Amino acid sequence: LEAYARHPHKFDLVITDMTMPKFTGLAIARAMLALRPEQPIILCTGYSEQVKSQGDIAGIRDLLEKPVSKPRLATAVRQTLDEAPAANAD
């Protein structure tokens, strides 16, 4: 998050996991979207129903349920990048 905050436009795509040691994927996504609202973010989770029930996935372009197959991940990345607005240089 520190590296992202310094140069948010250097990131074409963020893929994060819901469960991490210090932050949740939603917390990371919220912080990134506050800095750059158009940032494409994919969230991976083993608890998709729990995440959906929080009603807080606005801004997240795709929600991948673990385990994620390589073809599913590749499709999500390609679609997310294709749908994302062009990034501005910092």
* pLDDT surpassing 50 at residue 79: yes
- pLDDT of 90 reads 47
Mean pLDDT of 41-68: 79
pLDDT score recorded for residue 54: 59
Q: What DSSP string runs through 10-58?
A: G-S-EEEESB-SSSBHHHHHHHHHHH-TT--EEEEES-HHHHHHTT--T
pTM for the predicted model, two decimal places: 0.85
Average pLDDT along the chain? 87
